């Protein structure tokens, strides 16, 4: 019996070619990417659904932010069976409650084609549990993407998961077929990974994949090849923000990752970690803020305001915490500061810094209202960190 949302999708697809068995199988999988980039659904809601087994076809589709803009993407797996035993994972070997569903490449490609022709999806995120080893599993992922790209002639967004420890040529082929590939490191160090996922090998199986991906891009500069991303499971095994962000910094620098994702740990019943406390969503948020400072604002990881225990404060934006420590007694002169210095001020991003640099060529920025007029949204909040033409600005915006 299908639920209402699944039926709506079914009815839309019935008008075209129907692959009912495959769609039924898809509907049984629900949100298979519970520990993947979260798209438009809060992590807590996704965990709640996994707990209640509220699975339906609609659960396989999420609006994801892609390099081609936000898209409704089919998130699926070649199989929900797995021979590995990651301690947090709903699909781990031996978890009795998990429904095991397996697709052939033809089945998965047909299901995608039907949903895409029905206008329900425009993009594919394809992952898999591991059966008969990573190499055999990745072959199925590649075969599926090959059918979709080369037989169905689909030119839209495809994101492929890279299984741990696959062959170099498989990674290369995956990168030719996809817009994005992900190798989830899960943990920031070998020791943390051993606690999270005892059968995964940090350097040879995971880190090397990300290094190879960058090598493949560098050696084939004229080919259109996928960008790469990774994800960490945050907070289950004592990992600190310093560990996570140090690895993030290395990955941006050396493996040229497009993005690092953080997934606050949430306990899944029937796994060894079922009684561990969930990680607060605010920690995930602060990690994203810090990660963007490293990637887009040229910060060094040492500059982030870590506490003694290696974690960030959760009660304050990391940029503001840094500014409170460094700028209150040494404010930045808006009329003379370099672009990177301006971007250190809370409330001034890349666009704001450019706007300041353009405007000050035309005249003095000596009042907070001048900043407001050129697009700085809350100049009163940054007043304590700056000088305007040599003077500490007065908080007078409400008068204007
Ligand atoms: S390899 Fe680990 S994380 Fe991936 S599906 Fe299997 S148990 Fe889950």
Residue 92 beta carbon below 6 angstroms from any ligand 1 atom? yes
Give the pair of three-digit tokens for residue 343: 């971007």
Burial track 104-138 (b if 16+ CB lie within 10 A, e otherwise): ebebbbbbbbbbbebebbbbbbbbbbbbeebeebb
- Segment 110-140, tens digit of pLDDT: 999 999 999 999 999 999 999 999 999 999 9
Q: What percent of the chain has pLDDT over 90?
A: 75
| 64 band by pLDDT with thresholds 50, 70 and 90 | confident
| 36 band by pLDDT with thresholds 50, 70 and 90 | low
Residue 245 near residue 265, CB atoms below 8 Å = no
Residue 78 beta carbon below 6 angstroms from any ligand 1 atom? no
Q: Ligand 1, closest atom to CA 85? A: 7
Average pLDDT, rounded, for the chain? 88
Question: Which residue's CA is minimally distant from atom 7 of ligand 1?
Answer: 92
pLDDT of residue 69: 83
Residue 379 near residue 391, CB atoms below 8 Å = no
Determine the distance separating the centroid of ligand 1 and the alpha carbon of 357, expressed in angstroms.
Answer: 49
Pocket test for ligand 1, best of 91, 195, 198, 209 (most atoms within 8 A of CB): 91
- Segment 136-176, tens digit of pLDDT: 999 999 999 999 999 999 999 999 999 999 999 999 999 99
| 48 band by pLDDT with thresholds 50, 70 and 90 | low
Tell which residue, 277, 284, 280, 267, has the closest CA to residue 50.
267
Report the pLDDT averaged over residues 44-53.
50
Asked if residue 248 has pLDDT above 90, the reply is yes
Pocket test for ligand 1, best of 50, 92, 265 (most atoms within 8 A of CB): 92
pLDDT of residue 122: 95
Determine the distance separating the centroid of ligand 1 and the alpha carbon of 93, expressed in angstroms.
Answer: 8
């Amino acid at each position: 019996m299908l639920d209402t949302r699944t039926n709506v999708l079914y009815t839309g697809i019935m008008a075209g070619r129907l692959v009912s068995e495959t769609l039924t199988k898809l509907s049984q999988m629900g949100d298979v990417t519970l520990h993947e980039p979260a798209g438009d659904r809060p992590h807590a809601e996704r965990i709640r659904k996994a707990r209640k087994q509220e699975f339906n076809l609609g659960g396989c589709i999420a609006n994801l932010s892609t390099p081609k803009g936000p898209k409704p993407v089919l998130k699926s797996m070649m199989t929900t069976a797995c021979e590995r035993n990651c301690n947090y994972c709903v699909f781990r070997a031996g978890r009795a409650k998990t429904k095991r569903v397996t697709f052939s490449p033809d089945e998965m490609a047909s299901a995608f084609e039907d949903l895409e022709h029905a206008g329900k999806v425009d993009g594919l995120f394809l992952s898999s549990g591991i059966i008969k080893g990573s190499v055999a599993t990745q072959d199925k992922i590649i075969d599926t993407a090959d059918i979709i790209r080369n037989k169905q002639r689909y030119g839209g967004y495809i994101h492929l998961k890279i299984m741990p420890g696959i062959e170099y040529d498989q990674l290369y082929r995956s990168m030719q077929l996809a817009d994005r590939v992900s190798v989830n490191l899960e943990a920031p160090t070998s020791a943390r990974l051993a606690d999270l996922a005892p059968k995964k090998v940090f350097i040879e199986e995971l880190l090397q994949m990300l290094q190879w991906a960058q090598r493949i891009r560098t050696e084939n500069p004229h080919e259109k090849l996928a960008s790469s991303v990774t994800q960490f499971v945050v907070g289950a095994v004592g990992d600190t923000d310093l560990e996570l962000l140090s690895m993030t910094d290395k990955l941006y620098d050396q493996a040229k990752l497009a993005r690092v994702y953080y997934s606050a740990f949430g306990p899944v019943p029937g796994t060894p970690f079922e009684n561990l406390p969930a990680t607060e969503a605010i920690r995930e948020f602060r990690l994203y803020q810090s990660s963007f400072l490293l990637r887009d604002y040229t910060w060094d990881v040492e500059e982030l305001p870590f506490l003694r225990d290696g974690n960030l404060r959760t009660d304050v934006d990391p940029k503001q915490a840094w500014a409170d420590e460094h700028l209150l007694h040494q404010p930045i002169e808006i009329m003379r500061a370099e672009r990177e210095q301006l971007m250190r001020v809370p409330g001034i991003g890349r666009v704001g810094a450019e706007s300041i640099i353009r405007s000050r060529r035309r005249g003095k920025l000596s009042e907070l209202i001048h900043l407001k007029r050129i697009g700085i949204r809350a100049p009163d909040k940054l007043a304590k960190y700056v000088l305007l033409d040599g003077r500490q600005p007065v908080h007078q915006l409400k008068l204007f």
